[in-house]
C-alpha cells in the first residue's frame, strides 16, 4: 500500500495459488474473479486455469496480503488454498534476476515461496548430481532449469522431498512463459 497525501493507493498484485485444478481440487477462474471482486478486490483478471490472479486488494487486506487472500480464496474454493503474492517491482526483480538467461519457455520454472526457504534444503539434495538440470535460490524464489521439461525432471522431485522432510512450507511453481505473462498483466 502506498500513501499519496491523504489517499491510500493499493498496490497491484499477482496472487499465485498453490494446488488448484490439480488432483480434484477444482476452482473455476470465473468463480475466483467473482469471489475476489465480492471481497473488495478491484480490477481482477485471471490467467490460465492453474490459479493466477492479478488484482488490487482492498485496504482491509492489511499488511498480510498472502494470508488475507488465502482466507478469501479458501472460502471461495471450499478447500484450503495457499497463496503467494508478488507486486510489480518484486516480479520485475524475479525476471531481472534470472540466473539462466538462455533458458525460457517451459525449460525454466520459478518456485515462488511466501518466505525464503532454508538454503540447506537445496544444498541437501546436491543439485549437481542432477545435471544438466540445475537450480538457484535467490531470496524467496527458486529458479529451476529443466532442459527436458518438468514432467521428466528429477531435481524438482528431490527438492520437494527434501522440503517435506524439513517440514518447510511448499511454494508454487510457474513456467517462464507464465512469469513473463504475469509481469505483463501487472502493467496493464
Task: Write the pLDDT tens digit of every residue in 75-115.
Answer: 999 999 999 999 999 999 999 999 999 997 899 999 999 99
Task: Write the pLDDT tens digit of every residue in 42-73.
Answer: 999 999 988 999 999 998 888 888 999 999 99
In the chain, pLDDT over 90 holds for what percent of residues? 80
> What's the 3-state SS for 48-77?
CCCCEEEEECCHHHCCCHHHHHHHHHHHHH
Instruction: Enter the pTM of the model.
Output: 0.91
- What the chain holds in terms of domains, given with CATH numbers, is 2-89 (3.30.70.1280), 100-187 (3.30.70)
What's residue 10's pLDDT? Answer: 63
Amino acid at each position: 500500500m502506498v500513501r499519496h497525501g491523504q489517499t491510500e493507493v493499493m498496490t497491484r498484485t499477482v496472487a499465485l495459488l498453490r494446488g488448484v485444478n490439480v488432483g480434484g481440487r477444482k476452482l473455476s477462474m470465473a468463480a475466483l474473479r467473482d469471489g475476489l471482486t465480492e471481497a473488495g478486490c478491484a480490477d481482477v483478471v485471471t490467467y490460465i486455469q492453474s490459479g493466477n490472479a492479478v488484482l488490487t486488494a482492498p485496504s482491509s487486506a492489511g499488511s498480510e496480503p498472502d494470508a488475507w487472500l488465502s482466507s478469501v480464496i479458501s472460502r471461495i474454493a471450499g478447500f484450503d488454498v495457499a497463496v503467494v503474492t508478488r507486486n510489480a517491482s518484486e516480479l520485475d526483480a524475479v525476471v531481472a534476476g534470472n540466473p539462466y538467461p538462455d533458458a525460457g519457455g517451459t525449460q525454466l520454472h520459478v518456485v515462488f515461496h511466501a518466505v525464503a526457504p532454508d538454503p540447506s534444503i537445496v544444498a541437501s539434495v546436491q543439485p549437481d548430481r542432477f545435471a544438466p538440470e540445475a537450480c538457484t535460490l535467490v531470496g524467496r524464489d527458486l529458479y529451476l532449469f529443466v532442459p527436458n521439461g518438468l514432467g521428466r525432471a528429477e531435481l524438482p522431485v528431490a527438492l520437494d522431498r527434501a522440503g517435506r522432510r524439513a517440514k518447510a512450507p511448499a511454494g508454487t511453481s510457474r513456467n517462464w512463459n507464465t512469469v513473463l505473462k504475469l509481469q505483463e498483466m501487472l502493467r496493464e
